[in-house]
Amino acid sequence: MQFDEASLNSLLCSSCIQQVAGFDSLQPTENSWNCVLCFGITDDSFASKVAEEAKAVFDKNPYDSKTFSLSLDFPTTLILREHIFEKIFLAHCKGTLATVPFKVRCTELYIRKIEAVTSLRPTPSSDLGLTISFANNEFNSSDSDFLFRHLPVEFCSGGKKRRLDEDYEEGLAARYTKVKVTNIMGKLSDEARRSYKFENPTQACEIVPQFEREAVYIAGRYCKFSRNLPQTKWTDEENTTYPLPDSVADIISRVLIKFTKADNSRFSSSGREDIDVRMLGTGRPFCVQLLNSHNTQQLRGEKGKSFLRELQEEINKSEHINVRDLCRVTKEHSDTLNTVVHEYDEDDNGIEKRKSYTALCYSSLPISRDAFESLTSQAPLEIVQPTVVRVLKRRPLIDRRRTIFKMEALLLDDHHFYLKVETQAGTYIKEFVHGDFGRTQPSIAELLQVEQGEVDILELDVDTVLVEWPPASCL
């Protein structure tokens, strides 16, 4: 298609004629949504309608925010069309906004409309985002065919001309994404651009306004007093029933969700104890990510600290857990906690963190007094633990070297004793005691010279998790 003023007749809406083309002689499309360049999105009355729909969504499910930031999600074909129109026609256009990118023109229009009807103030720094999606897929097939015809290598992964799926057209259309089109459209030749046929859309864009708030992160430490409560809900893969209908994560998150009106939450912690293990002392570090919270003003400033103390008291009404040091942290802080967990669960390196445990143990064979008295002098010692049998289904098989820093022991009788140990984080304590079928070297059973029998833990408590958490700057 060569430039010809008359060739734009009935292709553009009145808004695009004024803002982009600048030719008063042009005949506009019958309906604004017939426009080949904007699909009616730049039409003032259409923008007003979209703003009213956004207001309806906000009124139905309000947020306690006075600001918003705006994102517009356009049909993929508009990216391609704007590029081709710019290369073929733009140098000849005289519109008042001809050199202003399409997205900038639309953003200015919609921000103004939405601010007027919602009284929300637009600002890029707002934690409340409004995304308006405009959907029209009727050109996906023809556009993907066009790109495949002119850029077969770039448009198809692997650099081969081949059938992409059993259904050829669907295979091409599946690759017709915004990222793909943006990355390759600059490689189109002028000849290819001129061959593109600007067809009028036959239907208006469907619109979906959606508000979403940035995640809120609440940190603290929890103690668990029950030997019948998991940290998080057990999955179907574990093929068991819940000993209790709740979990630590449920008890904490339920209160936070209720008072912030979040849609959902994600719970993370510095390690985890087994269901039958109590978490005592100052508790285990945790962080809850609250997704799309509708009420967050009460978490800000000094009043936020007071509000979090109220939430802490509400959580602590549970007889099974207790939380402390509840405070708001940043995403970066949360990521740091998750990194610590990863380092000690998956590899041998990282900043040294320690945990201490108290275990009531039983030996099926009588314990030698001499071996028992020499037990505490064995520390510090290094043990080697191949990935323990009970977690092999979800962890890679590697050898983990861990340090046992201190051991204290109290013999109760010939078969029972208390063991208090301080270890490097990531040590599997149960396997350190019973040996995991001889796979952990050395084990308590070996050190006590009763490896021919069975040594196991009857009760286990985590006493301390030595991690600086929450960050002092957040308390």
- The catalytic site residues sit at 274
b vs e for 425-451, b when ≥16 Cβ sit within 10 Å of the residue's Cβ? bbbbbbbbbbbbeeebebbbbebbebb
Q: Cβ(446)–Cβ(371) under 8 Å?
A: no
Q: Is 254 helix (H, G, I), strand (E, B) or coil?
A: helix
Strand blocks (E) in 155-291 = 206-213, 216-224, 264-269, 277-291
* Rounded Cα distance, 423 and 357, in Å: 8
Please count the CA atoms within 13 angstroms of the CA of 440 that sit on its side-chain side.
26
Tell me which residue has tokens 């970066």: 332
Contacts of residue 147, Cβ cutoff 8 Å, sequence gap at least 6: 80, 155, 176, 181, 184, 185
The C-alpha angle with vertex 81 and arms to 77 and 83, in degrees rounded to 5, equals 120
- Give the DSSP letter string of 268-304: EESS---TTEEEEEEEEEEEEEEES-S--GGGSHHHH
CA dihedral 240, 243, 245, 250 (to 10 degrees): -90
With 0-12 / 13-18 / 19 or more C-beta atoms within 10 angstroms meaning exposed / middle / buried, residue 243 is middle
List all residues 6 or more positions away from 215 whose beta carbon is below 8 Å from its beta carbon. 289, 290, 291, 292, 293, 331
What's 378's DSSP letter? G
Q: How many helices (H) and strands (E) does the chain have?
A: 15, 13
Residues 6+ apart with CB under 8 A from 345: 271, 395, 426
Give one DSSP letter per residue of 348-360, joined into a string: S-SS--EEEEEEE
Q: Residue 402's beta-bridge partner residues?
A: 383
Entry field: residues in the chain: 475
Angle at 305 between CA 302 and CA 307, to 5 degrees: 110
CA distance 84 to 70: 26
